[in-house]
Structure 1
Amino acid sequence: MARHPSSDRHLLQRAASRLRQRAQAVRQHPRSKRQGAGALRLAFGPRALGGLGRRHLPRGGGRQATDEVRAQALRLPRDVHEASLSRLPLLERHELDAEGRQHYDTVVSPQSRTLVGLRGPSGIWLHSPKLAGYLRAANQYLRFETALDRRLTELAILVTARELDNQFEWTAHEPAALAEGLDARIIEVVKRRQPIGRPGKRLGKREAIIIAFGRELFRKRKLSSATFARAVDLFGRRGVLELAALMGNYAMTAIILDAVDQQLHPGQKPLLPARRPRRAFG
């Protein structure tokens, strides 16, 4: 029988606790040749690791992957829970009401299309099950059913994540964008905040207007008449409305992720450049 992700909650908590206790012992074995779960047993101790198997490890195994898991657990902020990787605890199914359990089951289902499981927005929303129902319905529509194709949808999400400097959102969606066929050169334009220039081989008209659309809204808090008109010409009135709603939805998600200080999963490498410190007001 398949295990629900939250059934490993206590294993993760025990492993992280055991990890801190044994960190010094691990440092005494810098040349260990063990890999994958074997290296984790050295770091965590066999009892703490328990049923935590290879499916919890970053792909590729090896000492480098183990070091990433160990390092992340050791550097989590003090108010961040090891199981959820955020300031909110990871809820178990039995802790939820009927509405919450329905949402939980949808997220952990094999048919779920969430990119990060319960350790991300879907798990955070469980703390307000009624809100979770509305947010998930809106998210599913905006991500999969709008007038935009999936490739352009992922581009709009990346523009939003970049303009708000949200590492978690970007790192989850850059691989998804590549999988949907978005050109890596276009991703670099967004990631490096490069000028759009004239549409050509690198950027088509649709890609260029989506980037301009997001940059204007997030930087200037308004959209010029010219950009709006070009967007309507390319996507129609419905498409423009849904593009704005899509960016607004992922902006809301980014704010929630920042509020709970959601951390990347062990083994995930941050794909956005480091956030620059902003000038203080006043």
Structure 2
Amino acid sequence: MTIESRLSPLDEERMEPQQRRVLDAILGGPRGNLDGPFLAWIHSPELADHAQRLGAFCRYGTRLERRLTELAILFTAAWWQSQAEWQIHEPIAREAGVAESVIEALCEGREPAFERDDEALVVRLGRTLYTTRRVDEALYAEAVSAFGEPAVVELVGVFGYYALVAMTLNVFEVRRGSGPLPFDEPPAV
């Protein structure tokens, strides 16, 4: 699938050695491609290097079930209305077990009718964090009771990392493919 953006295209023959090293690490890692924010971050190899290692952990290494990680990513994509983040992670979330009704509700900006309490908790935590920039004692205690303290720390890391991803994709207008976009584009300012 083609990736489009407002970034200047990479010229592999003119890459700096550090760019080449980071590109090789990304392509040789669990992602295997220069998809999503890496298209932008490779222009700053130092950022790309640190971000790709954090991202690999947030996506593949946390204590959370893959279904919950992908739900947190989709919630973040919907919150930021990040076209490419949604385009990349929507099929992955479905494959990981997130219900179609939850995916549709998030994309449409509606509150999902959750069948699983752990999914409702992930979205409640994300919504509270993004809306109030805090999490009250009751919600914190509920999350720690459900997931354990280390997993809550990691979940907050997933929300933070994918907010960075969403901002990157939005600023550089990264799109995957030429089909319809999942979110309406806001009017130009």
| CA deviation profile, 1:178-210 (whole Å, cap 9, x unmatched) | 11122212222322333356xxxx421110000
- In structure 2, the CA distance between the partners of 1:227 and 1:166, relative to structure 1 (3 Å rule), is same
Structure 1 residue aligned with 2:134? 222
Match of 1:88 in 2: 7
AA of the residue aligned to 1:151: R
**For 2:45 and 2:111, how far apart are their aligned partners in 1?**
42
CA-atom RMSD in angstroms: 2.4
Given the alignment of the two structures, is residue 146 of structure 1 paired with residue 62 of structure 2, yes or no?
yes
Q: 1:97 to 1:221 in 2, by over 3 A?
A: same
Matched with 1:102 is 21
Contact map agreement 1:157 1:173 (CA 8 A) in 2: yes
Q: Return the alpha-carbon distance in structure 2 between the equivalents of residues 224 and 162 of structure 1.
A: 23
Question: What SS does structure 1 have at the residue aligned with 2:9?
Answer: coil
Whole-Å separation in 2 of the counterparts to 1:161 and 1:88: 21
Gaps of 5+ in 2: none
Structure with higher RCO (Cα < 8 A, 6+ apart): 2
Question: Does 2:148 correspond to 1:236?
Answer: yes
2:90 is aligned, of 174, 187, 193, to: 174
* Distance (Å, rounded) in 1 between the aligned partners of 2:186 and 2:139: 28
30, 38, 42: which is aligned to 1:126?
A: 42
3-state SS of paired residue (2:8) = coil
Q: Is the 8 A contact 1:85 1:119 kept in 2?
A: no
Residue 203 (1) aligns with residue 115 (2): yes
Corresponding letter in the other structure for 2:95: A
Change (3 A) 1:238 1:187: same
Matched letter for residue 218 of structure 1: Y
- Is the 8 Å Cα contact of residues 71 and 98 (structure 2) preserved in structure 1? yes
Corresponding letter in the other structure for 1:261: E
Total equivalences in the alignment: 189
Corresponding residue for residue 176 of structure 2: 264
- SS in structure 1 of the partner of residue 175 of structure 2: coil
The separation in 2 between residues aligned to 1:207 and 1:153, in whole angstroms, is 10
Deviation at 1:219, TM superposition (A): 1.9
Q: CA deviation at 1:276?
A: 5.8
Deviation of 1:139 after TM superposition, in Å, equals: 0.2
Amino acid at match of 1:113: R
Contact 1:86 1:262 in 2 (8 A): yes
Q: Percent identity over the alignment? A: 32
Structure 2 vs 1, CA of residues 275 and 227 (structure 1 numbering), >3 Å: closer, same or farther?
Answer: farther
Deviation at 1:277, TM superposition (A): 5.6
Letter in 2 for 1:193: G
Report the counterpart of residue 246 of structure 1 in structure 2. Answer: 158
Measure how far apart 1:255 and its partner are: 0.9
Q: Secondary structure at the residue paired with 2:176?
A: coil
Corresponding residue for 1:7?
none
Determine the structure 2 residue equivalent to 1:162: 78
SS of 1:120's partner is: coil
Q: 1:182 to 1:119 in 2, by over 3 A?
A: closer
Q: Deviations over 1:97-131 (max 9, x none)?
A: 2221122123344x6425xx335311211111111
Q: Tell me: CA distance 1:275–1:226, structure 2 relative to 1, closer, same or farther (3 Å).
A: farther
